[in-house]
Structures are given as structure tokens and as C-alpha cells.
Amino acid sequence: MSTSDQSAASLAALTDAARVVVKIGSSLLIDSESGALNRDWLEALVSEIAAMMAAGQQVLLVSSGAIALGQSYLEMDSGQRRLEQLQAAAAAGQIILANAYQELLDAHGLKVAQVLLTPEDTEDRRRYLNARSTLETLLSLGVLPVINENDTVATQEIRYGDNDRLGARVAEMISADCMVLLSDVDGLYDAEPGSDGAQLIPVVTEITPEIEAVAGNTRTAFGSGGMATKVAAARICMSAGCATVIADGHRKRPLASVSGGGACTWFLPSSSPLAARKQWIAGTLQPSGSLHIDAGAENALQAGSSLLPVGVRTVEGTFARGDAVDVVFEGRAIARGLIVYDSHEASLISGCRSADIEAKLGYQGRNEIIHRDNLVLLNN
């Protein structure tokens, strides 16, 4: 990719993105003197997000700040690092944060939902699917999910830092096109920012050892993450086909500044989110079972449709919801996908029409047994 092509791709990455994750750090949300919520700044950002949603983009907000707000509210020492104290602060601060988001978004006629996650929710397959389904449903309803780490139950991750990795895992989970990391720096530099000759790196297409080395380990007054965690988050996103940008959130209208070509660092992937997800399904996951299908289902899959239970003849193997399974036609695996039912349920509904699923299972499950976004045709 040439320099001009990289520049064009960078400018389009946010404006053309159908689904965007915006992550904001504590140093932006919290007033450095009072320890209170920086309400004017947040109100301006919410206006930008509202404009993006009005333009048809789906936005998810990953927000830090609960611990810092809770420490101020509970009159704790901001230097307190005992786990139980941090968890208590998070419990108090999360209410303040959620109320602020609801009030500010309501002024724009938008609905908001709070989603608290831990790393295990993005790594355990069943919890991952449940979280993904919840977020997908909220987005389909036009709701803005506001996501934070569930600090009141987290242990190691409460000290890990600044929700950068959580933001990346959320972007990966919901196949976002772009993640915006708003911080108190305007991007990645090739040397210590402010030092003689330090230059902003505008575009990164591969995270090399040299890129990791210049990331350093800078910290902010309220956030525990630094540039190293942001680069690590960008690596996760790039592998999922999601572009990432690090930008200074202190500037006026930071999102508009990014889309308008303002100073920032873009991390550009080599593939789209859907292509990356399908490559992961086909090339990384090992199948736990198989579904044998009829000719009608095979034709539908070749045409790009989801796999419906009516086209499944037999089910082999023992697997859980969310596991990878092979789709077999005439003795040959023609596709692989993530199944939305366990092996017992799949056996019960094989050959059934969608209208009969509830009678077979006792609840109304999904119409498809493997959704087309979670299915990839195999070249044999």
C-alpha cells in the first residue's frame, strides 16, 4: 500500500465504518483538580456520537472512569491501590457514570444500556456468544451500549489498565470496522513525545518489534494504561480486520478531527472484519462435530444463506453452543461454522422447520442453526 493509498484508507476508516467502538480514558472523563466528571467535555463527545448514529453508524462506547469517580465520591485517597478499596470505588462510581450517560444521551433522544464485562466474558465461548448476542440486539434496537469492565468482581484486570484491551475484545466480538482510542496523546511517536526530533507515526500496517519498542510505558494521572496497552489493543483489532486509531481526545470535536485528517495514528488491517472472522473459523478452530445436510441446504449455502434446521439430516459428535462444526454433504465437509445449539438440541430440531423449533425445544430459539456470518465455505 502506497503512502497516498494509506492516507486515503485512514480518512475513510472512520467515516465509512458501519460499526464503531469509541473508547475513552479516565484522564479525559475526570477533571484533574476536582476528581469530578468532566461534564462539558462528555456532553460535547455525546453530541458527536449522536451525529454519527443519526448518519446510520452503529456506535459502542467503552468508558473508563468509574474507579476515579467513586474515589472522589467516597472521599478516598486517589492513590489507594488496595483491591477491595478499588472495587468499592468502582461500585459507587459506576452509578455516577451511568446516570451521566443516560441524561446526556436522553437530550438527543437516544437510549443507552450499560454492559459490564470481564475478560472471561470475551474468552469463554458460551459467555462470549451471550455477550455478543446482547450487544447485537442493543445495536439492532438503535441503543448505544456503554461498556465498562466489571471492576467490582475483577481481580487481575482491575490493575491491567484503562480498558484498552477490553475495547479491542469488544471490537473483535462484534466485528467492528473501526475502534477509536481517545486519550491524552495524539498518537504513536517514533521517540519520546516532546523530545528533539520526535515525529508522529501517522499509519501503521504491521506491528513490528520496533513499533512495540517505541510504544514505551507512559502513564496518565487517572488512567493506568499507557501507549503499550494501546498498541497491544490495536494488534487485537488488526487481527480481527478492524482499523484502530489513537487520537487526542482533549481537542475540540475529537471524532470530527479524526475523520477530517487531524493528527493521529492509524493501525490499518489487511482484511475486513468479516473476512478475518471467517478465516479464523476455517483455519484456526477445530470442529467438535458435524451436521450432514441435504441437497436443498447445500444449494442454499452455496448461494450465501444461513443453515436452517430443516436442511439437516443427521448430527454427529458432542458439542456445546458456540463450538465449531463441519457441515457435510455427500460425505464431504463443504463448510465450517459456529453452531447456535448444543448437540442434543441440534439433534432434536434437525429436519424441522423454524416454526416447529419452540415445540421441540420448549423455547423459541434462533431460526438458523448456523448463521451465515459464522459460516465459511471450504475449498476442497
Within this chain, do residues 253 and 295 fall inside the same structural domain, yes or no? no
Within this chain, do residues 14 and 90 fall inside the same structural domain, yes or no? yes
Separation between Cα atoms, residue 41 and residue 252, nearest integer Å: 9
The domain boundary residue, chosen from 271, 293, 322: 271
Q: Higher confidence at residue 293 or residue 125? A: 293
What is the pLDDT of the chain when averaged over all its residues?
87
pLDDT, position 339: 93
The domain boundary residue, chosen from 247, 271, 295: 271
For residue 254, pLDDT over 90 is answered with yes
Within this chain, do residues 184 and 316 fall inside the same structural domain, yes or no? no
Nearest CA among 130, 135, 162, 159 for reference residue 148: 162
Overall pTM surpassing 0.85 (yes/no): no
Region 54-78: mean pLDDT is: 90
Domain limits for position 236: 3-271
How many domains is the chain built from?
2
Separation between Cα atoms, residue 232 and residue 212, nearest integer Å: 8
pLDDT, position 282: 82
Ordered DSSP codes for 301-351: HHTTPPBPGGGEEEEEE---TT-EEEEEETTEEEEEEE-SS-HHHHHHHTT
Within this chain, do residues 251 and 332 fall inside the same structural domain, yes or no? no
pLDDT band at residue 11 under the 50/70/90 scheme = low
For residue 276, tell me if it sits in a domain.
Answer: no
Q: Report in angstroms the alpha-carbon separations of 344 from 329, 338, 341.
A: 21, 15, 8
- The CATH number of whichever domain residue 50 belongs to comes to 3.40.1160.10
For residue 278, tell me if it sits in a domain.
Answer: no
Least confident of 141-145, 173-177, 279-283, 302-306: 279-283
pLDDT band at residue 284 under the 50/70/90 scheme = confident
- The CATH number of whichever domain residue 312 belongs to comes to 2.30.130.10
Within this chain, do residues 9 and 37 fall inside the same structural domain, yes or no? yes
Region 130-153: mean pLDDT is: 90
- 142-151, 202-211, 343-352, range with greatest mean pLDDT: 343-352
For residue 58, tell me if it sits in a domain.
Answer: yes
Within this chain, do residues 31 and 157 fall inside the same structural domain, yes or no? yes
pLDDT, position 295: 96
For residue 195, tell me if it sits in a domain.
Answer: yes
Separation between Cα atoms, residue 303 and residue 298, nearest integer Å: 9
pLDDT, position 7: 57
Within this chain, do residues 304 and 244 fall inside the same structural domain, yes or no? no
For residue 117, pLDDT over 70 is answered with yes
Within this chain, do residues 194 and 303 fall inside the same structural domain, yes or no? no
Tens-place pLDDT, residues 34-65? 778 899 999 999 999 999 999 999 999 999 88
Tens-place pLDDT, residues 14-27? 888 899 999 998 88
For residue 119, pLDDT over 90 is answered with no
Proportion of the chain above pLDDT 70, given as a percent: 91
pLDDT, position 286: 86
For residue 279, tell me if it sits in a domain.
Answer: no
For residue 69, pLDDT over 70 is answered with yes
